[in-house]
Amino acid sequence: MTVRFCTLITLAVAIVAVVLFSSVYVVDVTEHALVLQFGRVVAARTEPGLYLKTPFIQSVTYIDKRLREWDGEPSSLLTNEKQKIEVNTFARWHVSDPKQFYLRLTSEARGQSVLDGQIESSVKNVATTYSFMEILRNNFRELKYTTDELAKAEAERNIRIQTGRDKIVSEILVRVKRDIEEEYGIVVDGLGVKHLNYVQEVVPKIHERMRAERDRIANLYESEGRELEAKIVGETAKELEKIESEGKKLATILRGKADAEALRIYAEAYEQDPEFYAFVRSLETLKHSMDEKVRLVLGTSGPLFKYFKEYGEGK
């Protein structure tokens, strides 16, 4: 009897423990808890702590309340300038209303799927009303260029940033919040543009346009260089011609002076000793008239030969 009584007590204690264990659940600080009864939500717990539920009839489902990341895929769109670009965005979100989230989505995977569609559509609806430069740049800060020609080419494009990237992203975020927070119990805490560029089929054309612009600038430099080269060559030729002319003029003057001085010396020498002068001039004539290949035949009565004849007679 005593053994049977102990067994009954043990069984009763075990049943009470099971009932108590089934009646208690704990909500962690990182979670929301939903109490379900026959698949219907009867309570939502958003604060951490120890709670009670009806055992065996009610169950508890937990939903992570921490911040989660959403990383979108690149999507193509047309700007208001009809330029085809590719935008890649990211976002951070968390569950604010666990009951609404569970009733509409039931799982995080479906929440990510909803964000895929909502964010992509919001990005397209907003971004297509702006130009590429409005989405790309945040303000009209003047860019620094390596050459004046590039700066001039940029100025000719007449780019004006009135809204800027940050305001456009904020506009997209407001639209996303409006479309999903109340309906799905999701709060999007932040959104940003991770990557922005022209689509791949347009990039070669952009590069070709950039190359054409650089070629135009290079041709401009080359043309200016040729013009400067022609100017320098012309000035050099003019200066060289001037120097040569002055040199020839100076040479003529000096030659004339030298000839006059030579004539004066010759005249003085002739006046001092006409015979010696005639002799020297004859020797100079012989010097300039003869070389190793010349054979000179002189007559005995010629003026050049008389000095040799007189020299022989004197000897």
pLDDT, tens only, 95-145: 989 999 998 888 888 888 899 988 888 888 898 888 888 887 776 555 555
Instruction: Find all residues with CB under 8 Å of 7, minimum gap 6, and list them.
Output: none
Q: Report pLDDT for 207.
A: 67
Q: Report pLDDT for 252.
A: 87
Alpha helices of the chain — where are they, by DSSP H?
Answer: 2-23, 98-104, 108-127, 132-136, 148-156, 165-184, 203-272, 274-289, 305-314
61 pLDDT more than 80: yes
Buried/exposed code over 224-246 (b: 16+ C-beta within 10 A; e: otherwise): eeeeeeeeeeeeeeeeeeeeeee
Instruction: Find all residues with CB under 8 Å of 285, minimum gap 6, and list them.
Output: 304
Contact predicate 54/37, CB 8 Å:
yes
Q: Which residues pair with 196 in a beta bridge?
A: 87
CATH 2.40.37.10 fits 68-201, yes or no: no
Instruction: Find all residues with CB under 8 Å of 104, minimum gap 6, and list them.
Output: 183, 184, 185
Q: Could you state, in order of their start, the residue ranges of all structural domains in the chain?
A: 2-64, 68-201
pTM, full prediction:
0.57
CA-to-CA distance for 140 and 170, rounded, in angstroms?
Answer: 18
Amino acid identity, position 169: V
pLDDT, tens only, 171-181: 999 988 888 88
Q: Report pLDDT for 257.
A: 83
